[in-house]
Structures are given as C-alpha cells and as structure tokens.
Structure 1
C-alpha cells in the first residue's frame, strides 16, 4: 500500500510538472514585452536605431548581436532604463548572469523603484537558485505595487521550490479570497499544494473549481482521478479518467490508470482492454506490456505473460523488472531452473533489487533449498530491516523448522510492529509460540489472527491444532472443518479431522 501511494504521488507530481504550472511561469520573460517599445527612451535617433536592431536580432535568436546593439544603444543614451533592462534580458538568455545583474543594478541607480527590473532580477536569482534574494525582490515589488499578482505568484513558486508548501498555500489562498480569480490554473496549483500536505478533500475542492472554470482541463481531471485513488474512492477515480478520455481519447495516462483500477478491482478483461489501448496509441511505451503480463499471471496464464514480454525484449532498455516478471511466470509454470536464471539476471541488472531477491528466496524455499532461501531473506533484512514481508517469511520458516524460535518470534514481532493488522503475520507469531510449546500465547495470537483474517485456511488449521493440544476437541473440529471448507485439498488436516471424529471427538491417533 505504501508503494502504491508513493507511486501515485509521483504520478501526480509528474502531471503537475508537465502541465508547466510553476516553473515555466517563474522563468518567463513575457512580462517584459512592453519594453520592446522605445517610447520609454530619451529621444535619441542613434540610440533608438541600435535598440530596434537589438530587438530584431533578439527575435531571430542572435543574442550576441542583440547584446552588441543594446550596448551601443546604451552608449548613446545612458539614462534609458528600457535599454539597460533589454540588455540585461539578453545577457540572461545567453546565460551570462553576472553581466545581466550588472546592467540591472545600473537601472536601480537611475530608477530605484523600477518594478520590471526587479521582476527580471528575481527571475535571474531564481535560475541561480538564490531563492532568498529572489523572494526579497518580489516582496519589494509587492510593497511598490500591492496588486501585482505576478509577484505574489512568483513568491509562492519560490516557496514551492524551497518545499515551504504551507507558506505557498497561504499566498494562493490570499489571492483566491481577495480576488476570486477566474484563472483555472490558480485553483489547480492550490489543489496540488494541498495534496502535498495530505489534505485530499481540500485538493479535490480546488481541482473541481479549476474544472468549473475550465471544463476541458485534462490535467485537473487526471489529478482528481489520482487523488481519488489515494482516497480509495475507485468509482469517482474511474469517472475522472473517463472524463479525460472523452476530452482526449488518446490520452495514454488516463487509459493506463483506468487499466490499473480495473486490475486492482478484479475486472481483469477490462484491464487488458485499457492496456491494449495504450499500446495501440503508442507502442513504444513499455509499462502496458508489463501490466498485461501481470494481468495474465493473475489469470493463471503464464504462457501468455511470457509471450507478451518476449515480444518487447529488444525494446526494453532497463531489463530488471522485465527479468523479474519472466522469473515469476516461469515459477508459476514450475520451471524452477529457468525462473532462477531470470531472477539472477534481474539481480545482475540491479544488484539491490529487493523484489527479485525476495522471489529468488521464495523459489529456493519451494525447491526445498531452505538454507539458500534463508540466506537471501537475511540479505534482504540486512539491507532493509523494515521489510515486513521478509521478516515474517523468514520468521515463519524458522518456526516451521522448530529451530531458532526466539529469533523467529523476534522477526515476526518486527513485522507486526510495521503492520499490526496483518492477520497472516499474527498467525505466524501464534504458530511460533505453538512450536515453542507456549499454548496460551499461541491461542491468544491465533484467535486474534482469525478475527483479522477469517478467510485464511491455514490460520484455522493452526488454531484447530492448538485447541486440540489443549483438549478443546469441539473447537478443534470446528476450525479444521472451517479450514477444509476454505481449501478442501488438505490431506493432513482431513486426516486429523477424520481421526478426531473416529475417536468420538476425543484425542486418538497421531495429530
């Protein structure tokens, strides 16, 4: 669940960045277009001529010539702040920040309260990552012109860059309350900021306002869909993605997220349709091939999974996940040799690939190579002590072996500390105590496990065994019957139950 949340948040940030809502605006020079008119200059024909040539070269992208012409214009009219500001802008576009700053400082000598020069200098400081200096300049602009929305939004942007999200929110809220702006992007940005601090309801409210102002705002629909996924409101998320597709039928992200929703809600055929649609739109995107393979594995069709993966082998650059899925597919087919080869390939590509090492450890355990399996699990836990699945798996293996029982209990308790409501982990702890001979603790945790995960056949089997050892034969029978109802093909449990019934509900025979 944590990985899913992290992935969704990364997706939201990606939508945010590619929509260009913050960074593009902060570095924009559009606000200086007014300076292209020479009416702010002193009447000097030679200065004006060089100034106009500078504008022409600037528009053609000939920045060296533009700088040369603006410099000549300045030589003829050294009191023109318009010339100096355009000279600074050209230096900025060339990446010559010190020269740009020098020209702007001359502007402040001539005109101490020049707002446009302050805005340009703030942009330059932002590009130099001098955020504090930029922020001070924007604040000076607001003091000179309290209604300057560009400066307010730019300060908010700086707070975003500095990860001072709550300060950025305050500025956006100030703009919204004071002006009730009709610009959808302001509400979109505010929604994204709320999202960053986990205020999902406020985020949705702002995003919906953005859509009210701009009904075809694709990025807002996408982000609402992702937020609803975080809130586990799958129906609303589905509707948001469908709205994107209605506006933009070839939006790959909407189709992909819709497929992921369907896959997560066991609508596997619908999931396949959406992933196939992404491939039709853009065959170069590799993720849908992986998701189709995962869907086929879920449908217990490993051959189809292998086929779709191998069809793109030559186009996949980062192959670690590719090899992992092939390993899983071959493991499902009980081709352990090939599965092991693929897991090792995944680890060769990415030595710290925790998932590949985990599946390799499980594969070893399935093959009866328990020592090798334990070595892999120990490596996982050494590198990531908070891997609850590995802690529980290794702890349960120790318990099953009847060895290292104190270590087994320690590992399983660590897993439960990370996921307290995980019924499988609590079952492992109960079983470890049973193996240690502590029936009271075993009963305590196994009853708790059943309350958390009543549909697990193994928990009922374990609880039945503990009740049997305590002489509570009717309860033992009840849980063994429940276990067999969930999974009838359990020879050992069936034999235990038959022996119990044959002995009139009393101890008899080997249990």
Structure 2
C-alpha cells in the first residue's frame, strides 16, 4: 500500500523552513540600518543597541558556518540585552533545534507564541516540536491554535500538513471522530485534490483501531471516488471478511486479483475465507496459487521474510516437513534483523523436533536464546528438551523457571517445571521433588486442561503410591487424548498404565485376603 502524506519524521523540514524565516541579518556592516530593527526595545540606549547588534551579527556568522553552539552563545548574549526581539528568539530556537536540544527550542518558540498569539507559523512550529518530543496532547493544543489563525496562501501547504498531523494525533489517541473531522476539513477547504486519498486515510485509521464498520464506510467512498484505486478492493475484502459478509469479501478479492493476479496476500486471504464457508475445493485452489507464487519468489531470492515463513507454514500443514525446513534454512542466506533471525532459529527448532532430529533442535534453540536470552518460549522449549532426554536437569529447571517469570500463569511452563522435578526425583531418589512436582502440576492444570499434564500428574501420583488419584488423572488424560487427532500411541500408553495399576491393586487385594485368611486359620488353631 502507498502512503499519501509525509510521516511524522518529515516535520523537521517544516520546522527548519519556519525557523529560517527572517534570517536576513548581517551580510555586511553596510546592512546595519536595515538589520537594526532586530531590537525589540527601540528605547534602549544607543550603546546597548550597538552591543546587541554586535552579538547578533557574531551569532549569525557562526550560524552560517553551522557552528550552532557558538551561534547560540552569542544569540543568548544578545537576548540578555534585548529579550523581546523576535529575530533573536527565532535564531536561538533554530540553533537549539539543530543541536538536538528540543526543550530549549520549545521554550523560545513559546515566548514567540506569547508575543505573536495569532501567527500560524509560530503555533505550527511549536506543535511539531511537541510532536517530536512525544508530548502529543500539547501538540494537539498547538495544532488547534494554528488552524484557528489567519493564514496566507503560502501557509496553505502547512495548513494541510497541520490538519493531517492533527487527524493522526487524534486517532492515535483514540479520538476517531475528531480525527475524521480534520480530514474532512482538508476536503472542505480544498487543500487536497484527490478526495479518495483522504477517505483512504480515514478508513485505514478506523481499520487499525478495529472499527470495521466505519472503515468499510470510508473504503466504499474510496471506491466511489476513484474505482481504479486497487487498494480499496484489498481493504474492502478484509472488512467484509471481518463482518462475516463472505460473499462481498470474495467479490472484492476477485476484483483485486484481476488487477494484481500475483498478489499472494490476497490469494491467501481468499483461501481463509473459503475455509470459513467450508468450500475446500476453492480453498485448496487458492492455497496452491499462494504456494506457487511464494515458491517462485523464494527461488528468485526474495528478501521478504514473510514469504519464507508463509511458504514454510504451507509445507508444514501438508506434512512436508523436509520442504518446510529447506525454505527456512534458505532464509538464513538473506539479510535479517536480530528479531527475525531469532524467529528463524526458533521455527527451525520446532520443525526439526517434528522430524525427530533432536540434535538439530538443541542447536537451533541454543542459537535462539543466544540472540534473545529472555525469549521465554525458547527457554521453556530447551528446558523441556533437556527434561525429556533426562539430562542437564538443573539447567532445565533454571531455563523453565526463567520462562515462568515472564508468564507465571502459563500452564505449559508449569507442566514443564513439574515434569523436571519428577525427573530429578527419579534420578536422585528424593521424594521431596515428587511433592514439588505434584504442586506445579496441580497449578498447571488450573490454567490448561491438557492431556499431557494429567498424564504427568498420574505418573507422579503413581510414584507417590496414590493409586486412586493416579487412576483419576490417567482417566482424565485418556478422555482428552481421544479428542485429539492422531494420538493412538498416547492412548495405548495410558491404557497400559491403567492396566498396570489395576493389576497392582488386584495383587494387593489378593495378598490382603491371603493375610486375613492366614490370621483366621492361626486364630482358630489356638486353644
């Protein structure tokens, strides 16, 4: 999608343009009479005016050389002698802005605003400085002050920018209606020639705030104002999809693809819509198109990480794990930022786990936590991998505990820690670890009703000799496993454990009966 207006960073140009207005001072000593009006107080003694002018000219020449510090120093001296000079205040604001000292620049512009309360450029500049500093409420106030000022034709460009930035700030702060009103003002005042672009901006903002109905209204206006703008069809597809109006969503998606047939994003979006209406044939058709476009892009050396991730996801859903791995391995060859590189290694760890290449899993997880030591998903995964392989148990407990600090109510992480304590109890033959394991597993099941957790609880209960509780936990696991596709092996294991406990209970009852009978016989034989 294209952007139609400058981003907030371009505000710097506007500030500099304003601050440089009136930089016409001391080109030569012969210009003295022309520059003399820089003094705000004309009733000053002549020697004070001369001194003020001297400091001003020195500061000005330093400014021409972009020596902002020395320029500011001399302008400050001039201001001490004449604190009401607009020109000195402007120049000081310029210097401090160039030095990155925005707070000082703001202070001088505020003084100008007091002196020139009805001047558009002063309020516009103050607002943009506030915006740069993240003081959005103050920026809103000053942009509103600016739009109420009388403007010249020269100011129209800045007024359009003012209304645009004000609209963005209002919407950013959740005041959608006020933001929309600013955009509409741009249309009413004929500050823009293409209304479709304004409607697009309003629609996009509503869409970002998940206000889909209002977003739809404005994207329809975009389409009406300029039917050739293809991005209107794109967003209309998303809006209709979000509103469960799948028929209109499909029509808009097809209209978009007539102009951009190789747009994999839309093909993938349509595949999901067809999934929702249970049209598997068309869903598969769109998935195939998505896959083919992505494969060509990736083979051509695409630099877009999203294309690699999605293609890998498609292969994974098709149980073609080798293909999925190859795609992500190739992704390592393109430039990646640190966060994306971390995600690449973590995804590879998951894929290698599915293909049972456990050495590669550990290797990729080590790379993941090296790039991001606080990545809790990787810490838990690596810790659980150690537990499953019954090695590095202390390190496993440390890693899982670190993950739990990030998400203390994560049932999967609590299960991992409980299972780690169970393994440690087995290895060191210490029942206190079994008690700790049971405590964590009981906590885990409060946040996640997962069959693995109940199975782990059953194993701990069994080890503690609580067979009735173990049976209840295994039975619960069995019910949940039956709801999950392709868990036949798990069900067999659970059934075997239940049968084992049943035999033990039966044996215990038999031994108890024999003991009772033996005692009865002994008692009957006594005189």
TM-score (norm 2): 0.62
Question: What are the superposed Cα offsets for residues 53-80 of structure 1, whole Å, 9 maximum, x if unpaired?
Answer: xxxxxxxxxxxxxxxxx99x99999755
| 8 A contact 2:294–2:308 mirrored in 1 | no
Closer/same/farther in 2, CA of residues 179 and 336 from structure 1, 3 Å limit: closer
Q: 2:126 aligns with which of 132, 155, 159?
A: 155
CA distance in 2, matches of 1:252, 1:389: 39
The 10-residue stretch of structure 1 (443-452 or 388-397) with the greater mean CA deviation from structure 2: 443-452
| 8 A contact 2:222–2:232 mirrored in 1 | no
Question: What are the superposed Cα offsets for residues 146-191 of structure 1, whole Å, 9 maximum, x if unpaired?
Answer: 3334313312211322x3x23x523533775999899997687467
Q: 1:410 aligns with which of 386, 391, 398?
A: 398
CA distance in 1, matches of 2:4, 2:462: 58
2:345 aligns to what SS in structure 1? helix
Aligned to 1:48: none
Q: How far does residue 381 in structure 1 lie from its aligned partner after superposition?
A: 0.4
CA distance in 2, matches of 1:314, 1:473: 53
Aligned to 1:448: 443
1:349 aligns to what SS in structure 2? coil
Q: 2:325 aligns with which of 316, 336, 340?
A: 340
Q: 2:179 aligns with which of 201, 207, 210?
A: 207
Q: How far does residue 239 in structure 1 lie from its aligned partner after superposition?
A: 2.0
CA distance in 2, matches of 1:286, 1:81: 63
The answer to whether structure 1 residue 244 and structure 2 residue 238 are counterparts is no
Closer/same/farther in 2, CA of residues 141 and 505 from structure 1, 3 Å limit: same
Aligned to 2:205: 223
Counterparts of 1:32-181 in structure 2, within 5 Å, are 98=64, 126=97, 131=102, 134-161=105-132, 163=133, 165-166=134-135, 168-170=136-138, 172-173=140-141
The answer to whether structure 1 residue 26 and structure 2 residue 7 are counterparts is no
CA distance in 1, matches of 2:200, 2:295: 34
CA distance in 1, matches of 2:306, 2:382: 24
| 8 A contact 1:244–1:254 mirrored in 2 | no
2:292 aligns to what SS in structure 1? helix
Question: What are the superposed Cα offsets for residues 301-354 of structure 1, whole Å, 9 maximum, x if unpaired?
Answer: 564442131354588751444334333433443444433332221012136512
Q: 1:421 aligns with which of 390, 404, 409?
A: 409
Q: 1:459 aligns with which of 450, 453, 457?
A: 453
Q: Please, what is the CA RMSD of the aligned residues?
A: 5.3
Aligned to 1:491: 488
The 10-residue stretch of structure 1 (243-252 or 285-294) with the greater mean CA deviation from structure 2: 285-294
- Give the unaligned 5+ runs of structure 1: 1-10, 36-69, 85-95, 229-233
- Give the unaligned 5+ runs of structure 2: 39-61, 151-158, 188-197, 426-432, 507-527
Closer/same/farther in 2, CA of residues 315 and 211 from structure 1, 3 Å limit: farther
CA distance in 2, matches of 1:434, 1:262: 51
CA distance in 2, matches of 1:499, 1:293: 42
The aligned length equals 429
Instruction: Considering Cα pairs closer than 8 Å and 6+ residues apart, tell me whether 1 or 2 has the greater RCO.
Output: 1
CA distance in 1, matches of 2:238, 2:162: 30
CA distance in 1, matches of 2:236, 2:418: 40
Aligned to 1:475: 472
Q: How far does residue 374 in structure 1 lie from its aligned partner after superposition?
A: 0.1
CA distance in 2, matches of 1:260, 1:394: 38
CA distance in 2, matches of 1:263, 1:426: 37
Aligned to 1:389: 377
CA distance in 1, matches of 2:85, 2:11: 24
CA distance in 1, matches of 2:245, 2:442: 33
CA distance in 2, matches of 1:30, 1:290: 50
Aligned to 1:432: 420
| 8 A contact 2:414–2:440 mirrored in 1 | yes
The answer to whether structure 1 residue 359 and structure 2 residue 347 are counterparts is yes
Q: How far does residue 380 in structure 1 lie from its aligned partner after superposition?
A: 0.8
Q: How far does residue 359 in structure 1 lie from its aligned partner after superposition?
A: 2.1
TM-score (norm 1): 0.64
Closer/same/farther in 2, CA of residues 270 and 473 from structure 1, 3 Å limit: farther
Closer/same/farther in 2, CA of residues 127 and 439 from structure 1, 3 Å limit: same
Closer/same/farther in 2, CA of residues 258 and 115 from structure 1, 3 Å limit: farther
Q: How far does residue 413 in structure 1 lie from its aligned partner after superposition?
A: 1.7
Q: How far does residue 475 in structure 1 lie from its aligned partner after superposition?
A: 1.8
2:332 aligns to what SS in structure 1? helix
| 8 A contact 2:264–2:290 mirrored in 1 | no
Question: What are the superposed Cα offsets for residues 381-423 of structure 1, whole Å, 9 maximum, x if unpaired?
Answer: 0111111121121112112112222222221221222223332
Counterparts of 1:282-321 in structure 2, within 5 Å, are 303-313=288-298, 317-321=302-306
CA distance in 2, matches of 1:334, 1:322: 19
CA distance in 1, matches of 2:241, 2:434: 41
CA distance in 1, matches of 2:388, 2:245: 36
